[in-house]
Amino acid sequence: MIHEAGETPSGPGSSPKLTELHANRTARRPSWPHEVHMRCFALAVLALALPHVTQAQQTPALGAEDALAVALGQSPEVRALVLDAVAARASTRAAEDARAPVLTASVNGGFRESFSGTAAGAVRNDSRTVDASLGLAWTSDVGTVLSVNLTSGASWRTVNRDPSTTTSFTIGPNYTGQLLVNARQPILRGGGRDAVLATEREAAATEAQSLQQRDTQASAFVRDVLVAYWELWYAERALEVQREATALAQRQSDEARARVELGTLPAADALRFASTLAGLRETERSAEASRTQRAAELARLLGVDASTATTDPEIPSFATLDALAAQAAERSPELLALEAAVEAARQRTIAARNAARARLDFVASAGMVTLWADDMLPGAQLPGGRPGFVATGGLELELPVGSAAADAQHDRAQAQLEAAEARLEAGRLTLRASLATAHEQAADARDRIALATEAADVAERLAEAERGRLELGTTTPADLVIAQQDARAAALRRLRTVVDAVTSARRLEDTAGVLLDRFSLVRTTLDAAPTRRSNDEDGAVR
């Protein structure tokens, strides 16, 4: 049994001293409506894992933002979300860097011997070469593939120039140089910005989709942390109410037994108080189990032990339905993820349509070659004193014979695009309905706070009236017990209503996609790149 504010313990099971102590205690307590609001806005220092008051006072209060800060720093779920975003960004960079200029270089050397016949017998010939090359290749936004290659080398040859003798001559060193520019411009398949950039744009859209899905999961995580936070607050408050009720029922039961021994109270009335005490002990044990479960759930989300988590509640406010609907249409991560999925599917369709086209390329090359030598042998001088020039050009055509796999892939990509557009339309309809439902639930829970407060006040006054009637002898202890039970139940309903209002508001903001905007720390953590962790002794990355 527990007395609410304004009640004075009297009648069976009460004593003048008890009445005086209770009057002094309740005189310092504010009215219940005021107390509820004070509880909602004041710091509630609660021990979530330690049952004693002295231990609870040693545990620092943990506010909503503090709980989120702990969760962001400790929870592996948050780290997984951040790493998923890093992987998505890396995929985009890989697609963008696929057309990065490529530099090639090589150095080669060779030695070769051969034989030739002369009038005087066989002669051994040999050749020695050293060459080096440097090239640069690049693909433009319209599909043009350009490459520039510079090659230079030196050669020495030992040959027999007169078949009538076995005399050999060494020619060289001869130096060669070549500069060649190659170009390939796709005309059908692979030509144009849309075809070339389709892969990059698909990767960027996929990254945007991944980031929005990350925000959706992060918003759900923040919502779960806040809901668990407030559920734990209610469990702790409910346990506090039950403990006070059990303590009061114990005192009333002891005093009733004493009065039975004195012959001033029937034994049946004492049994009524004993029965109430037994029921309250059972209820208190259930409240302790509920608190432990809530503490464990919050500790799981925070990534720390439950003994470090206490609560600090406050009543939130939320925007109107029209304002939330406008914000959700522009900022809901679920809708933005679906829009990004549509864009990715559109780019896949463009790439598939391009792959289904015939290949017709214009190819051309131009360059120059030169040769010079130190021995000034005849034939080693450049004719006309200028290098030689090289120029080629033409068309290349590639056509599939019969049905091509690219056509089927294009049909599949087109179907996936239409499916993504349908999912986007369905997502918009679902969001509107979910937002209207969540807003009504949040508004209902908020409005019920005043109604629950009024109901609790009425229950308190009724319990007080029953106590007065018992003093006059016009009622029974059973009626007093029922009235006090009703008052306690009304107080718990009032606390439950406060929690429902808070959690419904957070669920509403999660549905609208604006929950993350309330906490800048969350956004900073999600956008930050995680530090690399060293491998352990087994070689596994932590």
341-368 residue pLDDT tens = 999 999 999 999 998 888 899 999 999 9
Position 307 scores a pLDDT of 54
Radius of gyration of the chain (CA): 43
| Calpha distance 445→439 (Å, rounded) | 10
Is the model's pLDDT at 74 over the cut of 80?
Answer: no
| Calpha distance 238→490 (Å, rounded) | 12
Distance of CA 89 to CAs 206, 492, 532, Å? 9, 49, 16
Q: How confident is the model at residue 57 (pLDDT cuts 50, 70, 90)?
A: very low
| Calpha distance 445→47 (Å, rounded) | 27
| Calpha distance 404→400 (Å, rounded) | 6
DSSP code per residue over 408-447? HHHHHHHHHHHHHHHHHHHHHHHHHHHHHHHHHHHHHHHH
Position 64 scores a pLDDT of 65
Residues in the chain: 542
Of 312, 315, 316, 317, the closest CA to residue 233 belongs to 312
33 alpha carbon, distance to own chain's centre: 40
| Mean pLDDT, range 243-257, rounded to an integer | 83
Global pTM reads: 0.67
| Calpha distance 385→116 (Å, rounded) | 33
Is the model's pLDDT at 76 over the cut of 60?
Answer: yes
Q: How confident is the model at residue 254 (pLDDT cuts 50, 70, 90)?
A: confident
| Mean pLDDT, range 329-350, rounded to an integer | 92
Report which of residues 37 and 107 the model is more confident about.
Answer: 107
How many of the other CB atoms lie within 10 Å of CB of 189?
18
Position 3 scores a pLDDT of 35
Longest dimension (CA), the chain: 153
Position 133 scores a pLDDT of 94
| Calpha distance 244→9 (Å, rounded) | 14
Please name the residues in contact with 223: beta carbons below 8 A apart, sequence gap of 6 or more.
506, 507, 509, 510, 515
- pLDDT-above-90 percentage for the chain: 22
**Coil, helix or strand at residue 473:** coil
**Coil, helix or strand at residue 110:** strand
Is the model's pLDDT at 296 over the cut of 70?
Answer: yes
Q: What values do phi and psi take at 369, rounded to 5?
A: -130, 155
Is the model's pLDDT at 309 over the cut of 70?
Answer: no
Angle at Cα 17 formed by Cα 14 and Cα 21, nearest 5°? 95
How many of the other CB atoms lie within 10 Å of CB of 164?
9
Out of 309-318, 331-340, 371-380, give the one with best mean pLDDT.
331-340
Of 485, 39, 515, 5, the closest CA to residue 233 belongs to 39
Residue spans of beta strands (DSSP E) within 246-325: none
Is the model's pLDDT at 518 over the cut of 90?
Answer: no
Position 374 scores a pLDDT of 63
Q: Identity (one letter) of the amino acid at 142? A: V
Distance of CA 303 to CAs 12, 300, 307, 518, 529, Å? 50, 5, 12, 22, 20
Out of 385-389, 390-394, 461-465, give the one with best mean pLDDT.
390-394
Question: Omega into 173 within 30° of 0, i.e. cis?
Answer: yes
Domain boundaries of the chain, sorted by first residue: 16-87+202-337+420-522, 101-139+144-189+359-398
Distance of CA 259 to CAs 263, 264, 269, Å? 6, 5, 10
Position 178 scores a pLDDT of 92
Q: How confident is the model at residue 385 (pLDDT cuts 50, 70, 90)?
A: low
Is the model's pLDDT at 486 over the cut of 70?
Answer: yes
Position 414 scores a pLDDT of 93
Q: Give the CATH number of domain 16-87+202-337+420-522.
A: 1.20.1600.10
Position 59 scores a pLDDT of 43
What mean pLDDT, rounded, does the chain reach? 78
Residues 128-177 have pLDDT tens digits of 999 999 999 999 989 999 999 999 999 888 887 777 787 788 887 888 88
Is the model's pLDDT at 340 over the cut of 90?
Answer: yes
Is the model's pLDDT at 537 over the cut of 50?
Answer: no
Position 27 scores a pLDDT of 38
Position 313 scores a pLDDT of 58
Structure tokens at 211: 């980031």
Of 106, 185, 141, the closest CA to residue 364 belongs to 185
Q: What values do phi and psi take at 114, rounded to 5?
A: -150, 170
Is there a contact between 457 and 34 (Cβ–Cβ < 8 Å)?
A: no
Report which of residues 18 and 344 the model is more confident about.
Answer: 344
Position 30 scores a pLDDT of 36
Report which of residues 48 and 482 the model is more confident about.
Answer: 482
* Weakest-pLDDT range from 145-159, 233-247, 405-419: 233-247
Report which of residues 255 and 93 the model is more confident about.
Answer: 93
Out of 103-112, 271-280, 384-393, 499-508, give the one with best mean pLDDT.
103-112
